[in-house]
A = this chain, B = another copy of it.
């Protein structure tokens, strides 16, 4: 068992039964990670659509009031799920940072092509 490539460096340190238990836990973590990656892909597809809508109507990429609501809601959900609410907030900020980067890219691409419409504010 100590040559199982899934074992990583743990294989050097422990008995086969412990290693077996560790591998079983890791396989659950790998399944959860696959689900997370697919959900994140779907989330970015949705925010991509939001980005296109925002660029078309010249809305600012960031929306602090919306973000405040999202953070408060996710912290409540995290508490119910026994996830550290501070981590949930850090996680959402991490995602939003990436989304804003995407929206800025969309907005720059939009402003490079075609004539500019006046700001609608």
The answer to whether A59 touches B29 (Cβ under 8 A) is no
* A102 (CB) vs chain B CBs: closest residue: B84
Q: Classify chain A's interface size.
A: 35 or more
The answer to whether B33 touches A70 (Cβ under 8 A) is yes
Q: Is A1's beta carbon under 8 Å from chain B?
A: no
Copies in the complex: 2
Given contacts A34-B77, A40-B91, A41-B78, 6 further A-B contacts (CB under 8 A): A13-B60, A26-B66, A32-B43, A33-B43, A36-B39, A37-B78
A interface with B by C-beta (< 8 Å): 5-10, 12-14, 18, 21-22, 25-26, 28-30, 32-47, 49-50, 53-54, 57-60, 63-67, 69-70, 73-74, 77-78, 81-84, 87-88, 91-92, 94, 98, 120-121
